Structure 1
């Protein structure tokens, strides 16, 4: 009991943010680092209410990512949603640009297809286990680093639930420490305070808010700059917590707001325009003021057809380009799929189970009858 009270007092002291040390920096955090976000499932598993519940977590995650210099040679990012089980939505991978990563976060709202795995009592230990495997399994980690020089950072978001510190939690914390994983915890309320302090790398990696739906922006500057300090050695000394300020890091960088650059012509009422920062969103012009809307869970906006379609069928997210306007072509990196191109638009299709696509015969065949090696 005394330990639980101490945990809560430590958290309250840690989160007594008034004003940070501010040092201006024009550059985003740039480093080779692996970052995995563990996001709790929404309560309704696929209903319209999921959007409202997931939206603040989506916004917070994309704002945190905005601190990173996203390019293929820097950050690998993984996305996991957890409930009764942990579901890997996106394996650790480099992203070509920020728009693709933002879209990947938005597509996590499509939880209906994982209702069986996510429904039930939340199992945070399983989520941490999956995260650890993603960091340490070279088959799941691009640009595997055998010398262990790339920073491994986990971000665990917890809803206001009572979590027990048991042997599993203690062992998991020790395992993450041995593997060199830095774990941050962002939690709602104080019910899980003792658990958060047990699994987080240290007390300065625990952040709490009263409500995940309304208060995440309050911690964002401190959280983002703390992450920068872990990933970037040049910033580490500057962003290190001030011992006299209760873990309060310096704020050396405030990333620019995402540019929208959407203007509406009053002549074209209800015109739809793509969101340049996220394929899952679009703007509808209703007079002069653009209204930002999102596609249904799992879909992205196709500017060429002015509709929302499956993500694999839209170039904005798939980044697929037809070699020629019409025809059947191999799907990059996967033998079982192929592109069915019509008038320059790529539609992703799959061969029946057990067959793969042959680019010469333009049809699905047995693996022994083609040279596809992916």
Structure 2
């Protein structure tokens, strides 16, 4: 069961709606009042309904489809893995772009330890293992073309 409390967001210009912070908790405006909502043990944030829902009823990036992807991920350290299937529109240098990898999940010893969202228009960099400006990230998650070589 979700627990709700007052949250540190400004709802003065937003009557209703949510601000997403992670799969297990989020902020929303309810009748102009800020709320912080923590989902229950078997629940995650469901973007389609704007509330907590059972994990098996929710699609990517928070749904159950990610929970079995950590099988076989081993090693002494946890590892973040970017979610490439989900695209989100973000602001990059005052231009709206559709980007992948704005969410990532964490695996440790074959167990899924949660899904997180990069904030501020950043994307998850699998190589560096942190969220970064998409202009500095190479590969399918970023917009960087790599270092420029002059001959």
Structure that is richer in strand per residue: 2
Structure that is richer in helix per residue: 1
TM superposition score normalised by structure 1: 0.20
Structure label with greater radius of gyration: 1
TM superposition score normalised by structure 2: 0.42
